[in-house]
Structure 1
Amino acid sequence: MMINIVLYRPQIPQNTGSISRTCAVSGSKLHLIRDFSFSISDKEVKRSGLDYWNLLDLEVHDDLDAFLNKYGDKKIYLCSKFGNKLYSNVKYDDDAFIIFGRETSGLPDDLCKKYKDSIIRVPMKEVEGARSLNLSNTVSLVLYEALRQNNFFDLI
């Protein structure tokens, strides 16, 4: 039993590194969907993840179709600022998959249509020029809510 964090075509290596560290210490699996704008071996990614990479349960998918072919039958949530449900008002299964979009462009429209009833959001104040929260911060908020709902599994 574990929560699965899925990053759709991440762009900023420091975010991915930070998220990898969060997943490693929370016992969560990280899924990365290609294409990324960096290499997992880039120093920015490695530095952000510190020496936690060997502790990380990581799966890389060639594209969104490959991911959905393998896990499309699981309970999937999408996280978007356009979500119709607050992230804290849904019940996360103990093996939930939570997909986060690209830092600049979010999630593809066809994916949002397919999972329209499972789109969650983190509330934020509407501020001109502010698109969204930082991806790494958003992942942490949502992940720890899912863990809380599952009594944090075996975390100390």
Structure 2
Amino acid sequence: MEIRPATVSDLDAVMAIYDYARQRMAESGNPSQWIDGYPSREVILADIDAGNSYVIVSDGSISGVFTFIVGDDPSYAEIDGAWPDNSPYGTIHRIAAAPGVKGLADKCLDYCLTKGVNIRIDTHADNAPMLGWIAKRGFLYCGIIRVANGTPRRAFQLSL
């Protein structure tokens, strides 16, 4: 698997992966995390334009996508709980895999860890697969944050 920055020419493949991810979330008991077409083409284009969107390519096809933003995340400024420290961090957002792809989250995290900052991530309370992966990879539960639309998310940090 190779990780590279996403480009505008990747947009259709990326959006197809997000469509699949929304369907899988709903089927696994998490119908309310990515609602109303989130993430939209506009959100992903903004990620691409900012240089924060990445694709994972295997056998010449895009097998997954994620956003990684190094720097302060406005959603993390207020937390019902506490961050373990105020060291520089990067945030993983909008991670999704194509049908049948396994191990994508591990590849994403391994890549993000090469950036030399703590890693933060959040997810919906009903996202059991992601919560299981977060626990397996040793993230510390820090509390509840609210995303842009005001809904709560469980927030975690993996310190270097």
TM-score normalised by the shorter chain: which range applies? Answer: 0.3 to 0.5
User: Normalization by structure 2: what TM-score?
Assistant: 0.32
Q: More helix by proportion, 1 or 2?
A: 1
Q: Which has the higher contact order (CA 8 A, sep 6+)?
A: 1
Q: More strand by proportion, 1 or 2?
A: 2
User: Normalization by structure 1: what TM-score?
Assistant: 0.32
